[in-house]
C-alpha cells in the first residue's frame, strides 16, 4: 500500500487533493500551490518500560503488528498500566498504528513479513527498524508477539486462530516447545469448548521442508535467528464471540508465561480479567486541540470549519486514550502533511472506532 493506486488517485483529485512523493516519517501531499496546508503530528511509536523492586524475568510484549487484531493490542495496552512487583516488562502495544486506525491487517502491506528486509522507502521502515534495534538492545528473556488469527486451530490444523505458535520445538538452548505446551495445558483446561482450547502450532520455520517459509520474514524468526532472543506468538481467534473474550485469552496466556519467567504484576491477572469491561471501556472524553491560523480551537464533536485560502491548520494534540488519533479517509493515511484545494475530512478515532469527524472547506 506504499504507492497510491489509480482509483485512489482519481478519488483524491475529486476531493481536491493531489499527491507528490511519499517519504517515510515526513510525508507531504500537496498541489503545486495548495490553498490550505494541514499538518498532523507523526504517529507515535509507543513503548513502556516497567521495572519491579524484585529481580525476575524480563519479558517484551508486542501488540498491533496487524491492525485488525484488537484483542492483541488491547491486551498489550492494559499491561502498560499495571505496576510490576517482580521482574521487568517492556511493552510496545501499537506497532502498526496506521493499520490500527484503518482497521486493516496491513495498510502498507503485511508488517510481519518485513523483518528479514524492508526498503527505506516503505512507510513501515522506521517502525520495523526501531523494533529490530530495540529487541537487540533490550535482549529480553522472552518476547511475546500478540495476534488475533482466523479460525480455531484445535478443530482445523490449518487455522492460525486460538493457538501458541512456535518456530521450532527447540532452537539453540531455547525450549520453546516445552514452555508452550506447559502454558497450553494450563490455559486450555479453562475452556470447556473444544474450539476455544489453545494448542501449540509448530511451524518448523528453520526446517528446509517447512510448510511456512513465509515465517522466515516474521518478527519471531528475526528474534531467534538475528537477535538470539526466544520469541513466541500468541494467537486468539477472530471468531471468538466478542472483544472481551479475545483479550481474556491473551491475558490468560501471558499470565502463565509470566509465571514461568518470574514476572509479577499488580493488580494481578485475576483482578484484571474479573474487571475487564472497565479496562476496555473506561469513561473518557475525547477532544482535539487545533491551531487554525494561529488560533487555538478545542473540538470535541463533529464539526466543519470554513477556512480561507492560504490558511494553515495544525492538529496539536489529542485527548482520549493512547489509541486516539486522526486520519483522513480522503487521502493516503500515511500522510501527516497535506495540501488541499477544496475540502477534506479527518476521522478522530480511538483505535478502530470512529469518535467524530472534523471537516475543512476552503472558501
Please write the tens of the pLDDT for every residue from 131-167: 999 999 999 999 999 999 999 999 999 999 999 999 9
Q: Which class is domain 48-280?
A: alpha beta
pLDDT at 196: 98
d(C-alpha 145, C-alpha 354), whole Å: 26
Residue 6: burial class (beta carbons within 10 Å; 0-12, 13-18, 19+)? exposed
Mean pLDDT computed over 75-104: 98
Query: pLDDT tens across 211-226, in order?
Result: 999 999 999 999 999 9
Residue 2 near residue 121 (C-beta atoms within 8 A) = yes
The ranges of the chain annotated as CATH 3.40.630.10 are 48-280
Question: Would you place residue 32 in the very low, low, confident or very high pLDDT band (cuts 50, 70, 90)?
Answer: low
Question: Would you place residue 26 in the very low, low, confident or very high pLDDT band (cuts 50, 70, 90)?
Answer: very low
Does the pLDDT value for residue 188 go beyond 50?
A: yes
At residue 307, what are phi and psi to the nearest 5 degrees?
-120, 140
Residue written as grid cell 520453546: 176
Mean pLDDT computed over 279-290: 95
Does the pLDDT value for residue 169 go beyond 50?
A: yes
d(C-alpha 361, C-alpha 340), whole Å: 9
Query: pLDDT tens across 37-71, in order?
Result: 999 999 999 999 999 999 999 999 999 999 999 99
Does the predicted model carry a pTM greater than 0.75? yes
Does the pLDDT value for residue 1 go beyond 50?
A: no
pLDDT at 33: 66
Does the pLDDT value for residue 25 go beyond 70?
A: no
Q: What is the DSSP string of 260-306?
A: HHT-EEES-HHHHHHTHHHHHS-----EEEEEETTEEEEE-S-EEEE
Residue 167 near residue 220 (C-beta atoms within 8 A) = yes
In 3-state terms, what secondary structure has residue 256? helix
Mean pLDDT computed over 193-203: 98
DSSP class of residue 313 equals: E
Amino acid at each position: 500500500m506504499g504507492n497510491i493506486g489509480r482509483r485512489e488517485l482519481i478519488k483524491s483529485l475529486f476531493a481536491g487533493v493531489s499527491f507528490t512523493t511519499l517519504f517515510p516519517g515526513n510525508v507531504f501531499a500537496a498541489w503545486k500551490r495548495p490553498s490550505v496546508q494541514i499538518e498532523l503530528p507523526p504517529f507515535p511509536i509507543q513503548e513502556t518500560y516497567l521495572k519491579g523492586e524484585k529481580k525476575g524475568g524480563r519479558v517484551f510484549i508486542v501488540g498491533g503488528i496487524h491492525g485488525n487484531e484488537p484483542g492483541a493490542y488491547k491486551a498489550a495496552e492494559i499491561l502498560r498500566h499495571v505496576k510490576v512487583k517482580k521482574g521487568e516488562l517492556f511493552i510496545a502495544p501499537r506497532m502498526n498504528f496506521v493499520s490500527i486506525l484503518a482497521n486493516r491487517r496491513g495498510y502498507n502491506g503485511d508488517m510481519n513479513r518485513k523483518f528479514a528486509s524492508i526498503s527505506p522507502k516503505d512507510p513501515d521502515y522506521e517502525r520495523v527498524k526501531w523494533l529490530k534495534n530495540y529487541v537487540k538492545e533490550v535482549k529480553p528473556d522472552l518476547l511475546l508477539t500478540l495476534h488475533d488469527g482466523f479460525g480455531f486451530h484445535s478443530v482445523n490444523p490449518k487455522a492460525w486462530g486460538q493457538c501458541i505458535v512456535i518456530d521450532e520445538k527447540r532452537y539453540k538452548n531455547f525450549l520453546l516447545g516445552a514452555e508452550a505446551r506447559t502454558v497450553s495445558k494450563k490455559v486450555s483446561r479453562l475452556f470447556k469448548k473444544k474450539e476455544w482450547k489453545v494448542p501449540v502450532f509448530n511451524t518448523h520455520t528453520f526446517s528446509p521442508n517447512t510448510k511456512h517459509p513465509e515465517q522466515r520474514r516474521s518478527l519471531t524468526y528475526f528474534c531467534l535467528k538475528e537477535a538470539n532472543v526466544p520469541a513466541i506468538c500468541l494467537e486468539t481467534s477472530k471468531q471468538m464471540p466478542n472483544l472481551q473474550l479475545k483479550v481474556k485469552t491473551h491475558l490468560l496466556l501471558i499470565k502463565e508465561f509470566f509465571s514461568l519467567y518470574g514476572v509479577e504484576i499488580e493488580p494481578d491477572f485475576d483482578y484484571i480479567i474479573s474487571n475487564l469491561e472497565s479496562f476496555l471501556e473506561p469513561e473518557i472524553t475525547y477532544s482535539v486541540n487545533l491551531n487554525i491560523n494561529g488560533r487555538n480551537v478545542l473540538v470535541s464533536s463533529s464539526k466543519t470549519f470554513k477556512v480561507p485560502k492560504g490558511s494553515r491548520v495544525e492538529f496539536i494534540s489529542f485527548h482520549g486514550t493512547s489509541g486516539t488519533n486522526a486520519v483522513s479517509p480522503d487521502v493516503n493515511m500515511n500522510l501527516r502533511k497535506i495540501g488541499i484545494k477544496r475540502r477534506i475530512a479527518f476521522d478522530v478515532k480511538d483505535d478502530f472506532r470512529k469518535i467524530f469527524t472534523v471537516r475543512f472547506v476552503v472558501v
